[in-house]
Structure 1
Amino acid sequence: MVRAYAAFKPGEELKPFEYDLGPLGSEDVEIDVAYCGICHSDLSMLKNDWGMSEYPIVPGHEVIGKIASVGSEVKKLKPGQLVGLGWNSRSCMTCEWCMSGNHNLCLTVEATIVGRYGGFADKVRAHSSWAIPLPEGIDPVAAGPLFCGGITVFNPIVQFDVKPTDRVGVIGIGGLGHMALKFLHAWGCDVTAFSTSPDKEAEARELGANHFINSRDPNALKSVENSFDLILSTVNADLDWNTYIACLRPKGKLHFVGVVPNPLSTNIFPLISGQKSISGSPLGSPATTAKMLDFAARHKIEPIIEIFEFDQVNEAIERLHSGKARYRLVLKH
């Protein structure tokens, strides 16, 4: 039996829960969970904000652990191997997106905590392709958030072929934004942090920002118009997006990885006249995730975390909900 923590109704506290996962699929792996990060997406799923939660729900999609067993058709993973598992745990492996290496765009991709039990447990299962081995140099304690927040901000760097000579802005210095600053700094970009909190400037620079803009200051925003090749929005808030579009250079992109609450409203003429674009992306493929891990190991990049025991899960959830987390939370067995 798997021992886990589950919520049985929207917004309810998590309680101990046990279940049997049944026979292991021929292409699947079972992972003994050692650590599991807590993400804002877990909060959204617990509250059914997106209308796709099924109860009882076992959250957790930033899993680090050792392979306990493998299916009969699994070739590359072995019991005892240390792996990570993120938001996605299965894709069809046959469609044009999977076959072109874009598994994260598969139309039937399965999320780790949608219609299945996630990593707030002592065991979790996934298709072997989505269980990514940890390279040497990655601290397993802090690695979990790389499999959601980390890959979410790293994927656009690869997809857009961001160059070290590019000027990149990051909106928000939180769970996603602080990792974006670290990755972009190591990539060699000229990085600007946008934040509504002026007291975060010193820390933003320590994380890798070359410049800091107080986004509540209209004059500061005006001073960086026509400046950026890419602006990465990591926030879950509605902002004046026309202001940020004005900060893009010709051919610049305003790219969303944070889910804003309301539809975007923007003037089209600046997009047309400057050949600018608005876009978004979901996490990354297994190959891009492995590339991110290698890059993080080489440059000693890891998220800033706070650690809680698994039986403190509700305390950790409340800390995240209150906005006090700095910057990612990790449960450990």
Structure 2
Amino acid sequence: MTTVAAYAAPAANAPLERTTIERRAVREFDVLIDIKFAGICHTDIHLVREGWGEAIFPMVPGHEIAGVVSEVGPGVTKYKVGDRVGVGCLVDSCRECDNCKAGQEHHCVRGAVQTYNAIGRDGEITYGGYATHVVVDENFVVRIPDGLSLDVAAPLLCAGITTYAPLKQWGAGPGKKVAVVGLGGLGHVGVKIAHALGAEVTVLSQSLRKKDDGLKLGADHYYATSDPKTFEELAGSFDLIVSTVSAPLDLSAYLGLLKTGGALVNVGVPEEPIAFHPFSLIGGNKILAGSMIGGIPETQEMLDFCAEHGIGAEIERIAASEINQAYERVLASDVRYRFVIDNATI
């Protein structure tokens, strides 16, 4: 075991504080990663504050990890010391079920092991990226292409794959009209990716406050959902809508924006249940779906795609001592568009 510095929440709703944690010794197929940057995801806040249910404490959040390999186990073949790598939302799975064999480890039927707030298959609690180092099996590590800076790449390990996966699955591309609901940590990356895929992209946001940003990021159109005329004007317009917000929406209204056979895919997760009228779904054979990150192969595909198209997150780098303040700013939508911790400050 190795003792490393970290920032942890000692209990639910408690401020995060500097502490130390134990990382396991490097096993045969493990890599030790010197974490350079860790993104702050809204999921971190949901879990620290038990918005999605009971959690494990003390908790070291962080599943947007970018760093450099500093040690490898004797059986490692994919990475060497000095490689630029990332770790996303999961660090293990059964590797035997049909989903795992198909590269869909996040849908492991026996349960994927999350990067933090989970119990690993060794019985130990997992701790995330708000730390100086992490030890991960090589099969759950991805390579960060040279064309991406580590700081702007870190949020792609969650925000990037979370938006890339549904855009690819539901055919975003030339000739398709795609709407992204919310221009936040997830949404701004989704806009960039949808644009790079060749789709006609519309941002649907509560107000026009971020319109200039949205258009610069690649959106073709930008509408305020607080204006009822938006839903009248855009009725039946979209092949695909990706909702990135963690607030409850009027799903019936958004389903009305879809073309016949169109899909509304939720990647944001509100803390409250959402209701909708079934007629808004069956009228027009519409699809209401969900999407949760992606497997390891698709995460690597996403990183390669982003490097090819010059896509990184829009970030504000912070010191670890600013994490608690950053959480409050995320809740106030006061970030454009992703906080990234400089882990050298831990």
Instruction: Please give the alpha-carbon distance, in whole angstroms, between the structure 2 residues aligned to 1:23 and 1:207.
Output: 42
Q: In structure 2, what is the equivalent of residue 54 of structure 1? A: 56
Q: In structure 1, what is the equivalent of residue 205 of structure 2? A: 195
Deviation at 1:309, TM superposition (A): 1.8
Q: Compute the TM-score of the two structures, normalised by the length of structure 2.
A: 0.92
Deviation at 1:78, TM superposition (A): 1.3
Does the residue aligned with 1:302 lie in a helix, a strand or coil? coil
Aligned length: 333
Does the residue aligned with 1:182 lie in a helix, a strand or coil? helix
Instruction: Please give the alpha-carbon distance, in whole angstroms, between the structure 2 residues aligned to 1:272 and 1:143.
Output: 40
Indicate yes or no: 2:232 matched with 1:222: yes
Change (3 A) 1:72 1:162: same
Pick aligned residue for 1:63 from 62, 65, 74:
65
State the one-letter code of the partner of 1:219.
K
Q: In structure 1, what is the equivalent of residue 130 of structure 2? A: 120
Q: In structure 1, what is the equivalent of residue 146 of structure 2? A: 136
Deviation at 1:19, TM superposition (A): 2.7
Q: In structure 1, what is the equivalent of residue 41 of structure 2? A: 39
Deviation at 1:207, TM superposition (A): 1.2
Q: In structure 2, what is the equivalent of residue 258 of structure 1? A: 268
String of CA shifts for 1:13-60, please: whole Å, max 9, x gaps.
Answer: 222222332332333222111111111111112112222421111111
State the one-letter code of the partner of 2:91.
S
Instruction: Please give the alpha-carbon distance, in whole angstroms, between the structure 2 residues aligned to 1:314 and 1:226.
Output: 42
String of CA shifts for 1:96-149, please: whole Å, max 9, x gaps.
Answer: 001112112113211111231111111112221221011121111211100011
- 2:51–2:271 contact (8 Å) kept in structure 1: no
Structure 1 stretches (4+) deviating beyond 4 angstroms? none
- 2:52–2:271 contact (8 Å) kept in structure 1: no
Indicate yes or no: 2:303 matched with 1:293: yes
Query: More displaced, 16-25 or 190-199?
Result: 16-25
Instruction: Please give the alpha-carbon distance, in whole angstroms, between the structure 2 residues aligned to 1:31 and 1:269.
Output: 51
State the one-letter code of the partner of 1:142.
V
Q: In structure 1, what is the equivalent of residue 245 of structure 2? A: 235
Kindly report which structure 2 residues correspond to 1:146-185, keeping only aligned pairs within 5 A, or say none: 146-185=156-195
State the one-letter code of the partner of 1:27.
F
Q: In structure 2, what is the equivalent of residue 109 of structure 1? A: 112
Pick aligned residue for 2:277 from 235, 252, 267:
267
Query: More displaced, 49-58 or 87-96?
Result: 49-58
State the one-letter code of the partner of 1:34.
K
- 2:172–2:194 contact (8 Å) kept in structure 1: no
Does the residue aligned with 1:80 lie in a helix, a strand or coil? coil
- 2:249–2:274 contact (8 Å) kept in structure 1: no
- 1:35–1:63 contact (8 Å) kept in structure 2: yes
Change (3 A) 1:73 1:204: same
Q: In structure 2, what is the equivalent of residue 213 of structure 1? A: 223
Does the residue aligned with 1:181 lie in a helix, a strand or coil? helix
- 1:52–1:114 contact (8 Å) kept in structure 2: no
Query: More displaced, 268-277 or 323-332?
Result: 268-277
Instruction: Please give the alpha-carbon distance, in whole angstroms, between the structure 1 residues aligned to 2:327 and 2:278.
Output: 40
Pick aligned residue for 2:288 from 278, 282, 303:
278
- 2:16–2:323 contact (8 Å) kept in structure 1: yes
Deviation at 1:182, TM superposition (A): 0.8
Change (3 A) 1:272 1:177: same
Question: Unaligned regions of 5+ residues in structure 1, if any?
Answer: none
State the one-letter code of the partner of 2:66.
I
Deviation at 1:308, TM superposition (A): 0.9
String of CA shifts for 1:234-290, please: whole Å, max 9, x gaps.
Answer: 111122211111111111001000012332322223422311110111111111111
Instruction: Please give the alpha-carbon distance, in whole angstroms, between the structure 1 residues aligned to 2:325 and 2:286.
Output: 44
Does the residue aligned with 1:312 lie in a helix, a strand or coil? helix
- 2:173–2:194 contact (8 Å) kept in structure 1: no
Instruction: Please give the alpha-carbon distance, in whole angstroms, between the structure 1 residues aligned to 2:18 and 2:225.
Output: 43
Q: In structure 2, what is the equivalent of residue 5 of structure 1? A: 7
Instruction: Please give the alpha-carbon distance, in whole angstroms, between the structure 2 residues aligned to 1:312 and 1:271.
Output: 44
State the one-letter code of the partner of 2:57.
Y
State the one-letter code of the partner of 1:227.
S
Indicate yes or no: 2:242 matched with 1:245: no
Q: In structure 1, what is the equivalent of residue 21 of structure 2? A: 19
Deviation at 1:220, TM superposition (A): 2.0
Does the residue aligned with 1:168 lie in a helix, a strand or coil? strand
